[in-house]
Amino acid sequence: MTIFWITGIVTCLVLATLLYFVAKRRHSILGDPLPQTTTAASDRLATRAVTGAVIVTILLLFVMLISSFITSRRLGHMHDQDAMTIEVYGHQWWWEIHYPYPKEPYREVITANELHVPVGTLIRIEGTSNDVIHSFWAPNLNGKRDLLPGYTNDLMFLVDKPGIWRGQCAEFCGLQHAHMSFFTIAESKENFNRWMEAQRQSAADPKTEQTRHGQQVFLTHSCVLCHAIGGTTAGSHVGPDLTHLATRSTIAAGTLPNTIGNLAGWILNAQSIKPGCRMPPNQLSGSDLQDLLAYMETLR
Ligand code: HEC
Ligand SMILES: [Cu+2]
């Protein structure tokens, strides 16, 4: 803000001065040739004005240098503080988000494309990539941070009001780079804790004939090779964790709203929706697909 106010006021002063002299001399601009107006006295005045302006400029630049240095130091100290750590893994072309729980590692929450954070808590994002370079960018929260294969970068921020903001991969990472967005969902501590507690649970066992069959369709098709559903034998993390799929508002990294129709289209042929994505098409009979969808809707 210091830099904003200094540069803002200087810009206004420069423009005002310029307009003042343009107005004052407008007759000579419009018609008569400019009369010779400099004298020894006015030269001296001009020299003094320019010298004064140079000195003020240098002083102001020093003020900005020092205040920016102080701010950077304070930001640097944030990294020493205790913060809630969230791990973000960039994938072609979606985000894997872990909420580690070192005391009981099996209670770690794994989700995709939706970053839930509590308001008023210092957050440390530890980001890395499993394939190519991505860049984590939530413009409403902080700057960009590259996610590099084999290296962990961190990014600190504190959200001061509840809200939902879109974020986007900001480093070209291949064909579907544009369809690699995510949402940051900032909520009160109570709501966040409630969400976290729900995410820690395994998926509920299917209760109806149809959803039981849907689960079987999932477990006996290729889905298990790439996806995990907590509480079942599906435990692969090639694709997004689906344990609480139905709580997410979009699928495929913000590409489509999470509706039953979109899910059906996605499961049958994700390639027609997000060409090149790492999920192959699936041939399912109509009834298998219906049951599978009914089961997916129970993953709350
Ligand atoms: C070869 C691995 C692979 C197989 C097999 C596979 N998927 Fe996927 N799936 C993925 C990947 C990778 C994504 C993320 C794609 C993206 O967003 O770019 C994905 C995304 C999804 C999503 C959207 C999740 C979200 O939160 O965005 C659903 C739902 C899904 N798959 C269901 C299934 C079902 C059901 C099957 C079996 C019929 C299946 N998948 C088979 C790899 C796979
Ligand atoms: Cu990208």
Q: Which two tokens stand for residue 28?
A: 């000579």
Q: Do domains 84-200 and 209-297 have the same CATH topology?
A: yes
| Nearest ligand to the CA atom of 178 | 2
pLDDT band at 28 (very low <50, low <70, confident <90, very high): low
- When pLDDT is averaged across residues 261-282 and rounded to a whole number, the result is 96
Confidence (pLDDT) at 3: 92
Confidence (pLDDT) at 299: 95
Atom of ligand 1 nearest to the CA of 217: 38
Confidence (pLDDT) at 135: 97
Residues 86 and 115: their CA atoms lie apart, in Å, by 9
- When pLDDT is averaged across residues 182-193 and rounded to a whole number, the result is 96
Convert the pLDDT of each residue in 207-257 to its tens digit.
999 999 999 999 999 999 999 999 999 999 999 999 999 999 999 999 999
Place of tokens 């039981």: 212
Residues 213 and 209: their CA atoms lie apart, in Å, by 6
Beta bridge partners of 86: 125
CATH level 3 topology of 209-297: Immunoglobulin-like (2.60.40)
Q: Domain 84-200: give its CATH architecture.
A: Sandwich (2.60)
CB-neighbour burial class of residue 265 (10 A; exposed 0-12, middle 13-18, buried 19+): middle
Confidence (pLDDT) at 183: 97
Confidence (pLDDT) at 35: 63
What percentage of the chain exceeds 90 in pLDDT?
80
Mutate to test the pocket of ligand 1, among 168, 227, 290, 292 (most ligand atoms within 8 A of CB): 227
CA nearest to 259, candidates 272, 275, 244, 246: 246
Confidence (pLDDT) at 79: 75
Q: Which two tokens stand for residue 222?
A: 């290729």
pLDDT band at 41 (very low <50, low <70, confident <90, very high): confident
Pocket of ligand 1 (CB under 6 A): 93-94, 112-113, 176, 218, 221-223, 225-227, 238-240, 242, 245, 248, 251-253, 263, 266-267, 274, 277-280, 282, 292
Nearest CA residue ID for atom 18, ligand 1: 93
Convert the pLDDT of each residue in 132-170 to its tens digit.
999 999 999 888 999 999 999 999 899 999 999 999 999
What percentage of the chain exceeds 70 in pLDDT?
96
Residues 113 and 167: their CA atoms lie apart, in Å, by 9
Q: What share of the chain is helix, strand, coil (3-state, %, to 5)?
A: 45, 20, 35
| Nearest ligand to the CA atom of 217 | 1
Is-contact 71 88, C-beta < 8 A? no
Is-contact 270 277, C-beta < 8 A? yes
Q: Which two tokens stand for residue 269?
A: 């042929």
HEC readout, 96-108 = EEEECCCCCHHHC
- The three-state secondary structure class of 7 is helix
**Residue extents of the structural domains in the chain:** 2-23+42-78, 84-200, 209-297
Place of tokens 């770690």: 108
Confidence (pLDDT) at 77: 81
Confidence (pLDDT) at 25: 75
Is-contact 99 86, C-beta < 8 A? yes
| Nearest ligand to the CA atom of 146 | 2
Distance 226 CA to ligand 1 centre (A): 7
Confidence (pLDDT) at 34: 63
Is-contact 70 110, C-beta < 8 A? no
Contact partners, residue 176, CB within 8 Å, separation at least 6: 92, 93, 274, 275, 276, 277
CA nearest to 241, candidates 299, 290, 288, 173: 299
Convert the pLDDT of each residue in 77-136 to its tens digit.
877 778 899 999 999 999 999 999 988 888 899 999 999 999 999 999 999 998 999 999
Atom of ligand 1 nearest to the CA of 92: 18
